[in-house]
């Protein structure tokens, strides 16, 4: 059996994600918007531009908009930090599937010794084989009647057709594959 030629590792791209938003900048921008919505004269009468603003923009609930935004951003940051370790593992696993199986330090050590960091990727074909096996082993729904009789049999056939229709309409088999992987 002939060996496959080695797959050269792709250069790792640097992380190009935008920086994490600054909470103070978000809140100050929100304060500017709140101030624009709540423009009033000192006697309480609205300015001419206020006619276009919704009436509830002057309500006490509008003042809590910044607080609600801050709470939601706190939830977002808490959830992001709770998922960070799992996302790092997922990124590592995806990199192994995509032929990126050497760390930078290991690759540099090999290059210093005059060796290329060659990857014989056995992970991707194995995962592809598992996904293909799952797709080939899918079964369709089949409803059987508990009672004897033509009406029960017809109901079972109709329910089988309904489940098949729903499976096809909502692409449930694709969702099952995603859950499998």
Where do the domains of the chain lie?
56-118, 122-181
State the pLDDT at residue 112.
95
From CA 81, how far away is CA 75, in angstroms rounded? 10
Q: Return the closest-CA partner of residue 77 out of 32, 34, 26.
A: 26
Print pLDDT tens along the chain (181 aa). Answer: 455 555 555 554 454 444 555 556 555 656 665 655 555 434 444 444 444 444 444 455 556 788 888 888 999 999 989 999 999 999 999 999 999 989 899 999 999 999 999 999 999 999 999 888 888 887 777 889 888 889 999 999 999 999 888 888 877 777 777 777 6
State the pLDDT at residue 36.
54
State the pLDDT at residue 31.
62
The tokens for 91 are 């990124």
State the pLDDT at residue 179.
73
State the pLDDT at residue 123.
92
CA distances from 173 to 35, 136, 165, 169 (A): 51, 11, 12, 10
State the pLDDT at residue 105.
94
State the pLDDT at residue 59.
54
Q: How far is CA 54 from the centre of its chain?
A: 35
Residue written as token pair 């801050």: 70
State the pLDDT at residue 27.
58
pTM for this entry:
0.46
The tokens for 153 are 């049999």
State the pLDDT at residue 34.
60
From CA 173, how far away is CA 112, in angstroms rounded? 49
State the pLDDT at residue 37.
55
State the pLDDT at residue 68.
84
């Amino acid at each position: 059996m002939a060996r496959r030629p080695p797959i050269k590792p792709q250069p790792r791209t640097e992380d190009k994600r935008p920086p994490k938003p600054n909470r103070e900048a978000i809140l100050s921008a929100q304060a500017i918007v709140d101030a624009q919505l709540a423009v009033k004269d000192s006697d309480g009468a609205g300015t001419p531009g206020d006619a276009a603003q919704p009436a509830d923009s002057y309500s006490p609930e509008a003042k809590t908009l910044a607080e609600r935004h801050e709470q939601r951003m706190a939830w977002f940051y808490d959830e992001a930090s709770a998922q960070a370790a799992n996302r790092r593992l997922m990124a590592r696993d995806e990199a192994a599937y995509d032929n990126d199986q050497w760390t930078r330090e290991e690759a540099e050590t090999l290059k210093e010794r005059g060796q290329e960091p060659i990857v014989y990727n056995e992970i991707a074909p194995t995962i592809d084989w598992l996904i293909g096996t799952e797709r080939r082993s899918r079964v369709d729904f089949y409803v059987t009647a508990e009672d004897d009789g033509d009406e029960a049999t017809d109901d079972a056939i109709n329910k089988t057709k309904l489940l098949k229709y729903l499976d096809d309409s909502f692409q449930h088999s694709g969702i099952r594959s995603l859950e499998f992987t």
